[in-house]
């Protein structure tokens, strides 16, 4: 089984009860079945069997629906997959393919070397305007397992290929905010709404109290411009010029959003020694 077949099978764990349980059960059965079949020649590292496969599937499910699995850890009304498209499988759409190979890494903001768990914690704190789950929780371990699985063919230390990145060099002049406002009305507001609040469960908010906070990567104009140029409008990606994406991002980012509180304390629960 190749990666896209695996991903198609462990795809959305539906929000409503019975169907969700059936979907997860099927995913577990599929993973168990895969373990018995011989790995395809094109895929030297098949989906692991047993508990590791279950953890990978949980990690993907959390990234697609953190509100369901970690309701106390997120306040933004969006999933990780709102910015990491296809749960981190889309080039130039916040892909996680290769991410595992680049950690631990130096972090400019905190001025220290961070682990992948720390990087996930950052997206909880800023992009999800929330609190990181415990590093020993099955959700955190699942996300790490899933990202490691997606990165399995990338050698340790390999840099991100340029063709995967969406951060772009910006035009030298300031964005034209009036033009951005007009374009937003033409190209974005049908889904993200005129007030930027989106539609719960369908279109994520771009500003306001339920959006990412001011410390998030997406709050930087170079990142939002690139993300929008490559991936938006969702029904016509690639149709905007760099200048258009820049003007729209500039206008979007003039609106209020939650503020990050740097002095807030983050605690991780104590564990009994026999947990390890």
Residues near ligand HEC (CB under 6 A): 63, 66, 78, 80, 82-85, 94, 99, 102, 119-120, 123-124, 127-128, 143, 187-188, 190-192, 203-206, 212, 216-218, 223-224, 227-228, 232-235, 248, 252
Residue 128 CB, nearest distance to ligand HEC (Å)? 5
> What whole-number distance in Å separates Cα of residue 165 and Cα of residue 95?
8
Residue 98 CB, nearest distance to ligand HEC (Å)? 7
Nearer to ligand HEC, 15 or 21 (CB): 15
Nearer to ligand HEC, 145 or 224 (CB): 224
Residue 261 CB, nearest distance to ligand HEC (Å)? 18
Nearer to ligand HEC, 9 or 92 (CB): 92
Residue 53 CB, nearest distance to ligand HEC (Å)? 19
| CB contact burial 140-175 (16+ within 10 A = b; e otherwise) | bbbbbbbbbbbbbebeeeeeeeeebebebebeeeeb
Nearer to ligand HEC, 8 or 190 (CB): 190
Nearer to ligand HEC, 34 or 82 (CB): 82
Residue 143 CB, nearest distance to ligand HEC (Å)? 5
């Amino acid at each position: 089984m190749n990666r896209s077949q695996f991903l198609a099978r462990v795809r959305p764990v539906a929000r409503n009860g019975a169907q969700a349980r059936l979907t997860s059960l099927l995913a577990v059965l599929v993973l168990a079945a895969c373990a018995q079949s011989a790995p395809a020649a094109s895929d030297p590292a098949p989906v692991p069997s047993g508990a590791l496969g279950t953890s990978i599937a949980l990690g993907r499910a959390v990234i697609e629906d953190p509100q369901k699995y970690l309701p106390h850890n997120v306040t933004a009304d969006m999933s990780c997959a709102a910015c990491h498209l296809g749960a981190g499988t889309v080039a130039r759409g916040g892909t996680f393919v290769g991410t595992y190979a680049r950690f631990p890494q130096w972090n400019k903001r905190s001025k220290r070397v961070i682990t992948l768990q720390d990087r996930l914690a950052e997206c909880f704190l800023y992009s999800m305007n929330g609190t990181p789950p415990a590093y020993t929780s099955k959700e955190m371990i699942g996300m790490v397992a899933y990202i490691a699985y997606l990165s399995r063919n990338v050698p340790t230390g390999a840099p991100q290929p340029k063709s995967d990145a969406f951060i772009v060099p910006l035009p030298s002049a300031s964005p034209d905010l009036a033009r951005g406002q007009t374009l937003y009305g033409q190209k974005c507001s049908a889904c993200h709404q005129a007030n930027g609040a989106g539609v719960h469960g369908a279109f994520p908010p771009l500003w306001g109290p339920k959006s990412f906070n001011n410390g998030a990567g997406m709050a930087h104009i170079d990142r939002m411009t690139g993300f929008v140029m490559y991936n938006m409008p969702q029904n016509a990606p690639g149709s905007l010029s760099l200048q258009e994406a820049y003007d729209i991002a500039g206008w979007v980012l003039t609106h209020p959003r939650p503020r990050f509180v740097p002095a807030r304390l983050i605690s991780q629960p104590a564990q009994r020694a026999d947990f390890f």
